[in-house]
Structure 1
Amino acid sequence: MGTSLMLISPPPPTKTHQLTPSTFPFLKTHQTISLPSSRKTNTMINSTKKFGNFLDLKSEYQPEALDFDLPWHHPSDRSQFDVIIVGAGPAGIRLAEQVSLYGIKVCCVDPNPLSMWPNNYGVWLDEFEGLGLEDCLDKTWPMASIYIDDNKTKYLDRCYGRVSRKKLKEKLVKGCVFNGVRFYKAKVWEIKHHEFESIVVCDDGTKLKGSLVVDASGFGSNFTDYDNHKLRKKNYGCQIAHGVLVEVDGHPFDLDKMVLMDWRDSHLGNEPYLRDGNSKFPTFLYAMPFSSNLIFLEETSLVSRPVLSYMDVKRRMVARLRHLGINVKRVLEDEKCLIPMGGPLPRISQNVMPFGGNSGIVHPSTGYMVARTMALAPIVAASINECLGSTRMIRGKNLYANVWNSMWPIERRFVRECYCFGMETLLKLDLNETRSFFDAFFDLKPYYWQGFLSSKLSLKDFALLSLSLFGHASNSSRFDIVTKCPVPLAQLIGNIALESIG
């Protein structure tokens, strides 16, 4: 689920995860269980002797760049812009395209504006259809499947798609070019703020002036400040995953269904040291089968705190593929994904407008973000136009406040706290409890589970979903909810109170 996003500027030189634990030093890691060296060696040999360890295969992925003649900003040109966007990831390019529709003068700054985004993105088809982006999908599946355990599978009648990174970026960049967006190839070194103007200082010494600076540079940004209230501090959850696009001899999955979640753990039956860890901190398989010999596979920890060991995730994936009889012949692409979820929103009273991964729009319970980013950009762009495109020319703190409130009106902040409550609840569930939760969750009316996954529920909808989920849950699941939710519920109430007075 998390293959969602790479919204960082500058793009990393190699295909790596969205951030590293050093980016967020408070992210500790669950310790990997140590085995005696002889036992560990024998176990790993038994784990890989039949099908081999696909982790030893080198990815064949070669970074590529779009072949576009971009309208570049030259240092000798007039450096005054209405909006300067830092970062050319999906968030930055989408917002530049939408803002420039109004004739607003936009400059997008990034070290490699034409580089391809490395991550695989999955979305629900109806979300992209509503945005007119369905032509940016390179594969769709009419249904999605959920393997609760070895004896129960659920099928979701909702079409799922894999985003074509090239098609999406080409479409957005073409829109930017047509609308007159200027691009500047550099790393932003510093941002200096004055009352009605900001100066973006690049690493080559170039200075760009703008009425509004948008920070779309991702989770590792140094330009966005966050609310450090004690009730919100250090409460990130983390989604960590290892994904590979591989050529295989064959696989057991239906070609007309993508696998949203596979919670089965029978592949760990002969490896108790992995099974015990998975029982406490479960991972699932996310799979997109393109053909009988080509498939994207991703072992994912939905959310954990501290973050699950990446080595554990990879070992579980090796064991799973061996159990499924999947022999990997070639690794076409690989990716490492580490996504902070939940946590505080950016501080509202600041002179940079965050957008994308650093703006709190990552779904706190699933890690989804691409579709919501694409949907929010037109809303934020309209607010920017109301301020900068009007005769009133609203600038300074009022400009930032108006734009921020278009993205995070008070009800959406309340609803986000509810989603964070969902994350906190999931953090307390072991494998069997997680299975029970999703068994009940996907028994809800489609309006509720679809709205939850797509971040479209209102506060009233969320309350009705919670009541319905409790009604659909088994007696044991109700007991889990009652015994494990009081602390997250208290946090929810406290955070909503803070939003109300903040």
Structure 2
Amino acid sequence: NIFRRARLCHRHKLCLRALKEVRPHQDASASEVVSSNGSLEFQQADISNQWLREGGKEAKYLLRQAAKREPEQQDILDILPKFDSREQSKPADVLVVGCGPAGLALAAELSERNLDVVLVGMDSKFTNNYGVWVDEFKALGLEETLDNVWQEAICYFGLGKEHEVRIGRAYGRVDRAKLRAKLLERCSRAGVRFLAGEVTDIDAEMGAEAGAVACRGGSAAEGRLIVLASGAVAGKFLEFEEDAPTVAAQTAYGIQARVKHYDGNFDLGSMLFMDYRRHHTGLYDGMALEARPGTHPHGSDGLWGTDGETPSFLYAMPLADGSVFLEETALVARPPLPFSVLKRRLERRLRALGIEVEEVMDEEWSYIPVGGPLPTREQPVAAFGAAANMIHPATGYSVARSLKEAPAFADGIAKALARGGASVGDVSSAAWDALWPMERQRQVSFQVFGMELLVQLGPQAMNEFFMTFFGLPAYFWNGFLASSLSSAELLAFALLFFVRTSNGIRLQLMGHLLTSPSAKYMLRKYTRELSESAAGPRSGAAVEPRR
């Protein structure tokens, strides 16, 4: 199950072949396996997870999103020098595969530590809208890359003024062209070279001195460490832990448009962060704001009979050019809520609000795999960003976190490479230890537990959940969103949430804790160090690849 020469592509082909035989299911069992020629076995959960990471049934829309033209963004070879393998006399220190925010930030950080770094991948542009908390981007020195800033973010978790929540935290939209240009400028100043091409094979063994990547068309490069930072699709080149909850996804369909009557519904000076009011069905055109608690044409303020429905919310940014970015988002679901459903809900919601779309300037399909297993330590490649499952399981945020953690991760890699005689396995294991120490694994197991609860909640329960969440002291909910709470603080957060929430949510939480595999997963992470201490210290010997 661990890579050897040419096994990586072989495994990927096998997975694709197996997908024709196995229908991925949200309750895929880790004990069910698929065999090929009796030589290799892959768990059904592995196949289903990677299928979902790559978009599942919605994959065609991800290709359409990635293929958008971005004329304001320069080609990478106009900024970085070209890498030529024929001139490579010795392996580079690090090959960073992937040209998104995580890959560019890491390549710059590594090269600024006097390491020889080659950036490898397709010359992809940034095509998605990135929304971030202003204080987080300001701390990163990236405030200048924000093209719109709102001092207030507003949420609605039901009908009536009592269900309006003002977060009181500034929110911004990233100018993706500026962010990409800034990251590439750092790479250029630090001396990063670029090899353009789609990586099709990786040759890496734990005991070797260096590994290599091969690209479609025949180009290749060697490096002492290979770091995959090309998004969730890189999962086909990675080994993941067993006995973890399966992958879910956040999906969103959005438009940037010129519209009429937005200001009759929402504050133009604020960002609409979450509007969970069920305006997408059961209301006549233009009648959404006429609905009052107890007067909705459907029972329970429009929520009667919706327990089995996957909730979604409106996310909206009124932009400086007079247009509005409007997006219907399913926070987390398994199976993912299709883009076709989200588009229909958005269109129906806007009609109910009386918002008239005059011109659609852009469409967006956002698909973020969340949760699922973490990569294992004992493998001869490392990963970063979404490829390393650094996406917040319960929110879908990843860009700010990747940019924030790139310096510490680069430090860990630089220290490992500085040790004389370090093998590929030594360096990759040190990289994984720097990225996923046990404390961080405990934190993410708690977040996965929370994510799995959200998967189960219907519209009414989702509203109750978030009314409690944003009613907590800002230190807790800010820290949860930013992944800055310690594992002990997360337990305090959970206890306070339990005390303050409704009886219905308490019952669901108790049932979730007693029956969900994510609860067992969290318990194992929280008690792992205790069990390892009882079993004795981990051997310092190098771990050989599993055959």
- Both proteins in one fold, TM over 0.5: yes
Residue of structure 2 equivalent to 1:173: 184
Shift of 1:27: 5.3
Residue of structure 2 equivalent to 1:18: none
Tell me the amino acid that sits aligned with residue 444 of structure 2.
R
Say if 1:250 and 1:293, in contact at 8 Å, map to a contact too: no
2:261 matches 1:250: yes
Q: From the two aligned structures, give the one with the greater helix fraction.
A: 2
Say if 1:120 and 1:165, in contact at 8 Å, map to a contact too: yes
Q: Which secondary structure state, in structure 2, belongs to the residue aligned with residue 220 of structure 1?
A: helix
Shift of 1:424: 1.1
Tell me the amino acid that sits aligned with residue 522 of structure 2.
L
Say if 2:252 and 2:365, in contact at 8 Å, map to a contact too: yes
Shift of 1:126: 1.0
Query: Please, which of 368, 377, 386 is the counterpart of residue 339 of structure 1?
Result: 368
Tell me the amino acid that sits aligned with residue 341 of structure 1.
V
Residue of structure 1 equivalent to 2:128: 119
The 1:487/1:188 distance shift into structure 2, 3 A limit, reads same
Aligned ranges 1:397-476 → 2 under 5 Å: 397-476=425-504
The 1:408/1:74 distance shift into structure 2, 3 A limit, reads same
Say if 2:100 and 2:126, in contact at 8 Å, map to a contact too: yes
Say if 2:140 and 2:403, in contact at 8 Å, map to a contact too: yes
Say if 1:100 and 1:106, in contact at 8 Å, map to a contact too: yes
Shift of 1:221: 1.9
Residue of structure 2 equivalent to 1:4: none
Say if 1:428 and 1:484, in contact at 8 Å, map to a contact too: no
Q: Which secondary structure state, in structure 2, belongs to the residue aligned with residue 76 of structure 1?
A: helix
Residue of structure 1 equivalent to 2:510: 482
Residue of structure 1 equivalent to 2:356: 327
Shift of 1:256: 2.2
Say if 1:28 and 1:307, in contact at 8 Å, map to a contact too: no
Query: Please, which of 55, 63, 66 is the counterpart of residue 70 of structure 2?
Result: 63
Residue of structure 2 equivalent to 1:200: 213
Say if 2:280 and 2:346, in contact at 8 Å, map to a contact too: no
Say if 1:224 and 1:346, in contact at 8 Å, map to a contact too: no
Shift of 1:399: 0.9
Residue of structure 2 equivalent to 1:185: 196
Residue of structure 1 equivalent to 2:522: 492
Tell me the amino acid that sits aligned with residue 490 of structure 1.
K
Further displaced range: 452-461 or 471-480: 471-480
Query: Please, which of 189, 214, 227 is the counterpart of residue 240 of structure 2?
Result: 227
Q: Deviations over 1:373-404 (max 9, x none)?
A: 1011111111111122x363633212111111
Residues in 2 aligned to 1:344 and 1:205: alpha-carbon distance in whole angstroms: 33
Tell me the amino acid that sits aligned with residue 84 of structure 2.
H
Residues in 2 aligned to 1:213 and 1:223: alpha-carbon distance in whole angstroms: 15
2:330 matches 1:301: yes
Residues in 1 aligned to 2:353 and 2:413: alpha-carbon distance in whole angstroms: 51
Query: Please, which of 166, 176, 181 is the counterpart of residue 155 of structure 1?
Result: 166
Say if 2:154 and 2:167, in contact at 8 Å, map to a contact too: yes
Residue of structure 2 equivalent to 1:50: none
Q: Deviations over 1:277-309 (max 9, x none)?
A: 686211111111115841111111111112223
Say if 1:249 and 1:293, in contact at 8 Å, map to a contact too: no
Q: Deviations over 1:401-455 (max 9, x none)?
A: 1111111110100110000000111112111111001000001111100000011
Further displaced range: 440-449 or 299-308: 299-308
How many equivalent pairs are there? 447
Say if 2:391 and 2:398, in contact at 8 Å, map to a contact too: yes
Aligned ranges 1:68-147 → 2 under 5 Å: 68-78=78-88, 80-112=91-123, 115-147=124-156
Tell me the amino acid that sits aligned with residue 111 of structure 2.
S
Say if 1:255 and 1:289, in contact at 8 Å, map to a contact too: yes
The 1:29/1:249 distance shift into structure 2, 3 A limit, reads farther
Tell me the amino acid that sits aligned with residue 71 of structure 1.
P
Counting aligned pairs with the same residue, the percent is 36
Q: TM-score, normalised by structure 1?
A: 0.83
Say if 2:250 and 2:331, in contact at 8 Å, map to a contact too: yes
Say if 1:433 and 1:480, in contact at 8 Å, map to a contact too: no
The 1:393/1:141 distance shift into structure 2, 3 A limit, reads farther
Further displaced range: 417-426 or 333-342: 333-342
| 4+ residue segments displaced more than 6 Å | 58-61
Say if 2:239 and 2:376, in contact at 8 Å, map to a contact too: yes
Query: Please, which of 400, 410, 427 is the counterpart of residue 381 of structure 1?
Result: 410
Residues in 2 aligned to 1:257 and 1:63: alpha-carbon distance in whole angstroms: 27
Tell me the amino acid that sits aligned with residue 388 of structure 2.
S
Residues in 1 aligned to 2:443 and 2:227: alpha-carbon distance in whole angstroms: 24
Tell me the amino acid that sits aligned with residue 211 of structure 1.
R
Long gaps (5+) in structure 2: 1-18, 28-63, 285-297, 533-537, 539-547
Name the structure, 1 or 2, with higher relative contact order (CA <8 Å, separation 6+). Answer: 1
Say if 2:157 and 2:467, in contact at 8 Å, map to a contact too: yes
Q: Which secondary structure state, in structure 2, belongs to the residue aligned with residue 358 of structure 1?
A: helix
Tell me the amino acid that sits aligned with residue 88 of structure 2.
R
Say if 1:71 and 1:183, in contact at 8 Å, map to a contact too: yes
Residues in 2 aligned to 1:206 and 1:358: alpha-carbon distance in whole angstroms: 23
Residues in 1 aligned to 2:231 and 2:204: alpha-carbon distance in whole angstroms: 20
Residues in 1 aligned to 2:478 and 2:514: alpha-carbon distance in whole angstroms: 26
Residues in 2 aligned to 1:232 and 1:125: alpha-carbon distance in whole angstroms: 33
Long gaps (5+) in structure 1: 1-21, 31-57
Q: Which secondary structure state, in structure 2, belongs to the residue aligned with residue 280 of structure 1?
A: coil
Q: Which secondary structure state, in structure 2, belongs to the residue aligned with residue 213 of structure 1?
A: strand
Further displaced range: 364-373 or 488-497: 488-497
The 1:391/1:219 distance shift into structure 2, 3 A limit, reads closer
Q: Deviations over 1:445-478 (max 9, x none)?
A: 1110000001111011101101111122123332
Residues in 1 aligned to 2:25 and 2:255: alpha-carbon distance in whole angstroms: 25
Residues in 1 aligned to 2:343 and 2:419: alpha-carbon distance in whole angstroms: 57
Q: TM-score, normalised by structure 2?
A: 0.77
Q: CA RMSD in A?
A: 2.6
Say if 2:101 and 2:180, in contact at 8 Å, map to a contact too: yes
Residue of structure 1 equivalent to 2:272: 259
Residue of structure 2 equivalent to 1:6: none
Residues in 2 aligned to 1:310 and 1:414: alpha-carbon distance in whole angstroms: 33
